[in-house]
Amino acid sequence: MDRLSNAVPVGEGLLTTPLSPAENVRINGSRCSECGEVMLGSYKSCANCGGESMQQIPLGKRGKVWTYTVIRHQPPGQYRGPKDPFVPFAEGLVELPEGIRVVSALDCDLEKVHIGMEVELVVYELYQNEQGQPVMAFKFKAV
């Protein structure tokens, strides 16, 4: 049986389905048919104009780093990455072809990360929940 057949997204409506194979999964967006606003995730009404004619669109896989920071200390709360020892990572705002910017971990060499860097979507298993389901999240890696 496919290991990811019972996978769930880390946020409701955040990713396209099916979640397997992970290479085919994209981030879900919603585009307003009235004003053209694009939002991250799945929405029934527009945050910009209040319109209720929303179209679901899979967002582009490629983007550019708009800005970033390097996280050098373990974030508080339920951090799911490596803890012992903690591994520093880059987190950034990635600008997608649709014009929206998405907060994401950046999978890249911390010495080489820069504004304008080309990145590509990676959907991966972040952890397993209490029901034993793989929980799928996304990050962007340097191209």
- Binding interface with Zn ion (CB under 5 A): 32, 34-35, 37, 46, 48-49, 51
**Shortest distance, position 35 Cβ to Zn ion, whole Å:** 3
Measured from the CB atom, the residue of 17 and 48 that comes closer to Zn ion is: 48
Nearest distance in Å: CB 42, Zn ion: 15
Beta strand segments in the chain, E: 8-9, 28-32, 38-40, 54-58, 62-71, 89-95, 101-107, 118-128, 134-142
**Which residue, 37 or 138, has its beta carbon nearer to Zn ion?**
37
Residue 94 · residue 64 · CB < 8 Å: yes
- Looking at beta carbons only, is 48 or 67 nearer to Zn ion? 48
At residue 108, φ and ψ (nearest 5 deg) are -165, 170
